[in-house]
A = this chain, B = another copy of it.
Amino acid sequence: MPKLGMEPIRKAALVQATIHEIGRAGSLDVTVSQIARRAGMSTALAHHYFGGKEQMFLAAMRHVLTLYGAEVRGALATAEGPRGRLLAIVRASFSPGNFRREVVGAWLNFWVLARTVPEARRLLDVYQGRLRSNLTHALRPLVGTGAGERAGALADGVGAMIDGVYLREALKAGAPDGAAAVAMVRAYLDAELGESGA
| Interface set of A (CB-CB < 8 Å, partner B) | 25-28, 105, 108-109, 111-116, 121, 124-125, 128, 153, 156-157, 159-165, 167-168, 171, 173, 184, 187-188, 191-192
Given A157-B184, A167-B167: A105 and B111 within 8 A (CB)? no
Number of copies: 4
Q: Judging by beta carbons under 8 Å apart, are B112 and A108 in contact?
A: yes
User: Given the complex, which residues of B lie within 8 Å of A187, measured CB to CB?
Assistant: 153, 157
Q: Judging by beta carbons under 8 Å apart, are A108 and B111 in contact?
A: yes
CB-CB nearest in chain B for A165: B160
Looking at chain A's contact residues, is the secondary structure mostly helix, strand, loop, or mixed? helix
CB-CB nearest in chain B for A110: B171
Cα distance A111–B169 in the bound complex, in angstroms: 12
Q: Judging by beta carbons under 8 Å apart, are B27 and A112 in contact?
A: yes
A109: which of B112, B160, B165 is its contact (CB, 8 Å)?
B112
23 CB contacts below 8 A, A to B, read: A26-B115, A26-B116, A27-B28, A27-B112, A108-B115, A109-B112, A111-B167, A111-B171, A114-B171, A115-B171, A128-B168, A153-B187, A156-B168, A157-B187, A159-B168, A160-B161, A160-B165, A161-B161, A163-B164, A164-B167, A188-B188, A188-B192, A191-B192
